[in-house]
Amino acid sequence: KKIQIINGPNLNLLGKREPTVYGNASFEGYLDELRARYPQCEIAYFQSNIEGEMINKIHEVGFEYDGIIMNAGAYTHTSIALHDAIKSVTTPVIEVHISNVHARESFRHVSMISAACKGVILGFGLDSYRLALEAFIQSTVNK
Ligand code: DQA
Protein backbone atom coordinates (compact mmCIF):
# COMPACT_ATOMS: atom_id res chain seq x y z
CA LYS A 1 0.00 0.00 0.00
CA LYS A 2 1.07 3.56 -0.66
CA ILE A 3 0.65 5.74 2.39
CA GLN A 4 1.48 9.43 2.69
CA ILE A 5 2.28 10.93 6.09
CA ILE A 6 1.78 14.69 6.28
CA ASN A 7 3.05 16.58 9.30
CA GLY A 8 2.12 20.21 9.78
CA PRO A 9 3.63 23.19 11.57
CA ASN A 10 6.31 22.81 14.25
CA LEU A 11 6.43 19.04 13.86
CA ASN A 12 9.86 19.37 12.21
CA LEU A 13 11.05 20.11 15.75
CA LEU A 14 9.88 16.80 17.26
CA GLY A 15 12.45 15.62 19.77
CA LYS A 16 13.45 19.19 20.61
CA ARG A 17 10.05 20.79 20.96
CA GLU A 18 8.34 20.62 24.40
CA PRO A 19 9.71 17.10 25.08
CA THR A 20 7.46 16.64 28.12
CA VAL A 21 4.45 16.84 25.77
CA TYR A 22 5.82 15.40 22.53
CA GLY A 23 8.71 13.15 23.64
CA ASN A 24 12.43 13.06 22.85
CA ALA A 25 12.37 11.15 19.58
CA SER A 26 12.82 12.82 16.22
CA PHE A 27 10.27 11.97 13.57
CA GLU A 28 12.94 10.84 11.12
CA GLY A 29 14.16 8.15 13.55
CA TYR A 30 10.61 7.00 14.19
CA LEU A 31 9.94 6.88 10.43
CA ASP A 32 12.93 4.58 9.91
CA GLU A 33 11.47 2.17 12.48
CA LEU A 34 8.04 2.33 10.88
CA ARG A 35 9.42 1.61 7.41
CA ALA A 36 11.46 -1.32 8.76
CA ARG A 37 8.46 -2.76 10.59
CA TYR A 38 6.05 -2.41 7.65
CA PRO A 39 8.06 -3.32 4.54
CA GLN A 40 4.80 -4.08 2.72
CA CYS A 41 3.97 -0.36 2.77
CA GLU A 42 5.51 2.42 0.79
CA ILE A 43 5.52 5.25 3.30
CA ALA A 44 6.09 8.73 1.88
CA TYR A 45 6.75 11.58 4.29
CA PHE A 46 6.11 15.30 3.93
CA GLN A 47 6.37 18.05 6.55
CA SER A 48 5.56 21.69 6.10
CA ASN A 49 5.00 24.69 8.30
CA ILE A 50 2.91 26.23 5.53
CA GLU A 51 -0.81 25.49 5.25
CA GLY A 52 -0.93 25.89 1.45
CA GLU A 53 1.92 23.43 0.96
CA MET A 54 0.00 20.85 2.99
CA ILE A 55 -3.03 21.45 0.78
CA ASN A 56 -0.90 21.05 -2.35
CA LYS A 57 0.41 17.73 -1.05
CA ILE A 58 -3.13 16.48 -0.35
CA HIS A 59 -4.08 17.38 -3.96
CA GLU A 60 -0.92 15.73 -5.30
CA VAL A 61 -1.39 12.31 -3.68
CA GLY A 62 -5.10 12.41 -2.89
CA PHE A 63 -6.33 10.58 -5.99
CA GLU A 64 -3.54 8.04 -6.12
CA TYR A 65 -2.39 6.89 -2.68
CA ASP A 66 -4.24 4.36 -0.52
CA GLY A 67 -4.17 6.52 2.57
CA ILE A 68 -3.03 9.76 4.11
CA ILE A 69 -2.05 10.00 7.78
CA MET A 70 -2.14 13.64 8.77
CA ASN A 71 -1.05 15.50 11.85
CA ALA A 72 -2.04 19.06 10.96
CA GLY A 73 -0.54 20.49 14.17
CA ALA A 74 -2.21 23.73 15.19
CA TYR A 75 -3.90 24.07 11.77
CA THR A 76 -6.15 21.28 13.05
CA HIS A 77 -7.91 23.84 15.17
CA THR A 78 -8.19 26.60 12.58
CA SER A 79 -8.12 25.39 9.00
CA ILE A 80 -11.32 25.15 7.01
CA ALA A 81 -9.08 25.07 3.93
CA LEU A 82 -7.55 21.77 5.08
CA HIS A 83 -11.04 20.41 5.78
CA ASP A 84 -12.06 21.32 2.21
CA ALA A 85 -8.87 19.82 0.74
CA ILE A 86 -9.51 16.50 2.51
CA LYS A 87 -13.09 16.52 1.20
CA SER A 88 -11.87 17.28 -2.31
CA VAL A 89 -9.83 14.10 -2.78
CA THR A 90 -10.71 10.40 -2.91
CA THR A 91 -7.87 9.06 -0.71
CA PRO A 92 -9.07 8.53 2.87
CA VAL A 93 -7.36 10.61 5.54
CA ILE A 94 -6.80 9.60 9.16
CA GLU A 95 -6.20 12.51 11.53
CA VAL A 96 -3.57 11.83 14.17
CA HIS A 97 -2.19 13.67 17.18
CA ILE A 98 0.71 12.76 19.41
CA SER A 99 -0.79 14.29 22.53
CA ASN A 100 -4.29 13.86 23.91
CA VAL A 101 -5.58 17.24 22.79
CA HIS A 102 -8.72 16.81 24.92
CA ALA A 103 -6.61 16.78 28.07
CA ARG A 104 -5.00 20.09 27.11
CA GLU A 105 -6.08 23.71 26.56
CA SER A 106 -9.69 24.19 25.45
CA PHE A 107 -8.57 25.76 22.14
CA ARG A 108 -7.24 22.32 21.21
CA HIS A 109 -10.56 20.58 21.86
CA VAL A 110 -12.02 21.59 18.50
CA SER A 111 -10.85 20.11 15.21
CA MET A 112 -11.80 21.71 11.92
CA ILE A 113 -10.70 18.61 10.02
CA SER A 114 -12.11 15.62 11.95
CA ALA A 115 -15.46 15.65 10.16
CA ALA A 116 -13.70 15.40 6.79
CA CYS A 117 -11.52 12.49 7.93
CA LYS A 118 -12.28 8.77 8.11
CA GLY A 119 -11.25 8.67 11.73
CA VAL A 120 -9.06 10.15 14.41
CA ILE A 121 -6.29 8.61 16.54
CA LEU A 122 -4.76 10.70 19.29
CA GLY A 123 -2.95 10.59 22.57
CA PHE A 124 -0.68 7.60 21.99
CA GLY A 125 2.52 9.51 21.40
CA LEU A 126 4.29 8.72 18.13
CA ASP A 127 2.52 5.36 18.20
CA SER A 128 -0.59 7.23 17.00
CA TYR A 129 0.94 7.16 13.48
CA ARG A 130 1.54 3.40 13.63
CA LEU A 131 -2.02 2.77 14.79
CA ALA A 132 -3.30 4.80 11.84
CA LEU A 133 -1.07 2.75 9.53
CA GLU A 134 -2.53 -0.45 11.01
CA ALA A 135 -6.03 0.82 10.19
CA PHE A 136 -5.02 1.22 6.54
CA ILE A 137 -3.24 -2.14 6.45
CA GLN A 138 -6.15 -4.01 8.06
CA SER A 139 -8.35 -2.37 5.45
CA THR A 140 -10.54 -0.98 8.17
CA VAL A 141 -10.40 2.03 5.91
CA ASN A 142 -11.07 1.60 2.22
CA LYS A 143 -10.80 4.01 -0.62
C1 DQA B 1 -0.59 18.17 17.94
C2 DQA B 1 -1.60 18.86 18.87
C3 DQA B 1 -1.87 20.28 18.40
O4 DQA B 1 -2.79 20.93 19.27
C5 DQA B 1 -0.59 21.08 18.38
O6 DQA B 1 -0.84 22.36 17.87
C7 DQA B 1 0.51 20.41 17.65
C8 DQA B 1 0.68 18.97 17.82
C9 DQA B 1 -0.22 16.76 18.46
O10 DQA B 1 0.28 15.98 17.65
O11 DQA B 1 -0.40 16.46 19.63
O12 DQA B 1 1.30 21.05 16.96
O13 DQA B 1 -1.19 18.02 16.66
CATH assignment of the domain containing 125:
3.40.50.9100
In a domain, 17, yes or no: yes
pLDDT for 142 equals 66
Number of domains in the chain: 1
The pLDDT of residue 25: 87
Atom 2 (ligand 1): residue with closest C-alpha?
73
pLDDT at res. 143? 63
Q: Could you tell me if residue 142 is inside a domain? A: no
Decide if 143 is inside a domain: no
Given pLDDT bands bounded at 50, 70 and 90, which one contains residue 139? confident
Cβ(33)–Cβ(27) under 8 Å?
A: no
Whether residue 34 is contained in a domain is answered as yes
Whether 94 is covered by a domain: the verdict is yes
Domain membership of residue 70 (yes or no) is yes
Binding site membership for substrate: which residues? 71, 77, 84, 98-99, 108
- Whether 81 maps to a domain, the answer reads yes
- Strands (DSSP E) along 88-137, which ranges? 93-97, 119-122
The predicted-structure confidence for 9-28, as pLDDT tens digits, reads as follows: 999 999 989 888 888 889 99
For residue 21, the model assigns a pLDDT of 87
Q: Is 97 in the pocket of ligand 1 (CB under 6 A)?
A: yes
Structure pTM? Answer: 0.96
97 flagged as catalytic = yes
This model of the complex carries an ipTM of 0.99
Residue range 86-115: mean pLDDT, rounded: 98
Range of the domain at 120: 2-137
CB of residue 108 inside a 6 A radius of ligand 1:
yes
Share of the chain above pLDDT 90, in %: 89
Residue closest via CA to ligand 1's atom 12 equals: 73
- Judge whether residue 70 has pLDDT over 70: yes
Q: Is the CB of 10 under 6 A from ligand 1?
A: yes
Q: Is residue 111 part of a domain?
A: yes
In this prediction, residue 94 carries a pLDDT of 98
Q: Assess whether 75 carries a catalytic annotation.
A: no
> Is the CB of residue 70 below 6 angstroms from any atom belonging to ligand 1?
no
User: In angstroms, what is the span from residue 115 Cα to ligand 1's centroid?
Assistant: 17
Question: For residue 71, which phi and psi values (nearest 5 degrees)?
Answer: -110, 105
Q: What contacts 130, CB < 8 A, 6 or more positions away?
A: 34, 37
Rounded to 5°, angle at Cα 127 from 65 and 98: 90
In the set 22, 30, 75, 129, the catalytic residue is 22
